[in-house]
Amino acid sequence: MSDNHLDGVDWAALAALVDAIPQLAWIADASGDINWYNRRWYDYTGTDFEQMQGWGWQKVHHPEHVDRVVAKIKMSFETGTPWEDTFPLRGKDGTYRWFLSRALPFRDAAGQIIRWYGTNTDITERKEMESALRHSEEQLNLLASIVHSTDDIIVSKNLDGIISSWNKGAERVFGYTAAEAIGQPITMIIPENRHAEEREILSKIRHGERIEHFETIRQRKDGTQIVVSLTVSPVKNSDGVIVGASKIARDITDQKQIQERISVLAREAEHRSKNLLANVNAMVNLSRADTVDELKQSVQGRIQALANVHSLFAATRWIGAELTPILKQEFAPYSAEVDNRVRMSGPQVLLEPDLAQAVAIVIHELATNAAKYGALSTNHGCIDVTWSDADRKLQLVWAETNGPRVVPPSRAGFGSKIIQVMAAERTGTASFDWRPEGMVCRIILPL
């Protein structure tokens, strides 16, 4: 190949033409030795022909790619087939840019390859864009996977309230599939009496406002209603115009029910504590004794009666206590002495906590009095405790027999006063019949 002509072609004109194109161009002989580069090649690489002739172009290829590119080029030259590849080339500033390289064989009249023509096109921006798009796609796939798999409800809608996306969490909670929900108005899951909420939400979204942790009621496909916590945000297009809203919701029905139970239990605990303290206060105020030790003993016994009945509450989760176990607890300290001298008869009656505490104190006072002065103070005395629950009233009769002869007291004792106060505070009555053969106490308390 001469300096000025290439097979009858005006070389200077051809070189000027190829120098003007934006690609890096080259010409190689049939063996692959490059013997010409255009001006763009030298301008980009900062090299000269002496450095690049033959296979010298390898000097500006990236070391990680050069072996692969050389092998591919040699294979193409051996087979005579066009080839194409992408790889980075080093510029004169030392940085690498990506190029798309294409090579075509040129044949003579006999079909023999006499040279190769190639171009390298800078595709760095395209590669960067492709990389950015891949990264964006990966991020979108990741976000889609998160949205798809989360238990939270994630829904989007346009400014007319029409559903445009519906994740698995929404399917699980509301019972509608994505195919059923997309394209439908969001009001399909909003109770009719709360449609005004949706209008207000859309109005705020149009003004660019965000709604956070808004607790409200929504409706499932089967008609059941749930409590949800909503966060609603505006969705903007590439021009920054608000075109819809994204909604993240969480079913907090169970959480609200638990909170309500805790609140109820707290109020119940407060109520029970006040009742207990009121009972203790009444007992202390009514207690009298001749000595400090006697006073201490009487107060301790009454507090123990309350403690005993509280242990029964635990078995029923504070619903109350059965009357029979209360009686048995109060007679337990005397069981070895009374044997079968205490007879109990009556239906199964569950007393609510406040009433159970009052009855426990009443029975404690009656049993203590019987042990000191009545039927349990002798070896032959008997006690019959009978009760009924007719007309929503507990009617209990305590009757002692075969004990010491009874003499009616000149004034009410402290035990009698406690029994009467406990009954009166619960709109009930307590009366005493001091028969010579044994005292009879009748108590009526509303159930």
pLDDT in tens, 215-231: 999 999 999 999 999 99
Q: Which residues contact 229 (CB under 8 A, 6 or more apart)?
A: 213, 214, 215, 249, 250, 252
| Location of each CATH 3.30.450.20 domain in the chain | 5-128, 151-251
Per-residue pLDDT of 53-76, as tens digits, reads 889 999 999 999 999 988 988 888
| Location of each CATH 3.30.565.10 domain in the chain | 261-446
| pLDDT: which is higher, 308 or 208 | 208
pLDDT of 193 reads 93
Predicted TM-score of the model (pTM): 0.45
Per-residue pLDDT of 179-201, as tens digits, reads 999 999 999 999 999 999 999 99
pLDDT of 368 reads 87
CATH number of 261-446: 3.30.565.10
Domain 151-251 CATH class label: alpha beta
pLDDT of 9 reads 56
Average pLDDT over residues 318-339: 80
pLDDT of 78 reads 86
Per-residue pLDDT of 80-113, as tens digits, reads 899 899 999 999 999 999 999 999 998 888 889 9
Confidence label for 3 from pLDDT (cuts 50, 70 and 90): very low
Confidence label for 5 from pLDDT (cuts 50, 70 and 90): very low
Q: Is 90 exceeded by the pLDDT of residue 139? A: no
Fold for 5-128, please state it: Beta-Lactamase (3.30.450)
Tokens of 431: 């009366």
pLDDT, averaged across the chain: 84
Q: Is 50 exceeded by the pLDDT of residue 6? A: no
pLDDT of 273 reads 60
Average pLDDT over residues 12-27: 83
Q: Is 60 exceeded by the pLDDT of residue 370? A: yes
Query: Lowest mean pLDDT: which of 47-61, 148-162, 306-320, 335-349?
Result: 306-320
Query: Lowest mean pLDDT: which of 43-52, 382-391, 418-427?
Result: 418-427
